[in-house]
Amino acid sequence: MPPLSIEFSARFKAQSRALPAARQALVAHAVAALGDAFGKPHLHSGLGIQRLKRDYFEFRADRDTRMVFKLEGSTASVMLVGNHDDVQRFIKNL
């Protein structure tokens, strides 16, 4: 499987800019790893990638910081960064 290309929603960009610098670095590292790790269970286990609903997946930057992306072909559109509750609200509203 070729690496995913990554796109970012305006919502994700705004949410990530609002994070503290240390957490922004964790998010950037996790997003960078996502493209190569998706579809390779031994690589993506550290990111905790899980299918949430249909083409929506969750992955983690750390224990408390989660992100949601939508898989569209070979493109991952990262849509949200937040905590567990933020992810649950997002999925509930799909």
Residue ranges per structural domain of the chain: 5-92
E strand or H helix at 85 = helix 84-92
Average pLDDT over residues 6-11: 96
Residue type, 45: S
Structure tokens at 55: 């083409």
Under the banding of pLDDT at 50, 70 and 90, the label for residue 35 is confident
CATH number of 5-92: 3.30.2310.20
| pLDDT tens for each residue of 40-83 | 765 556 788 999 999 999 999 999 999 999 999 999 999 999 99
84 DSSP 8-state letter: H
Q: What is the pLDDT of residue 43?
A: 54
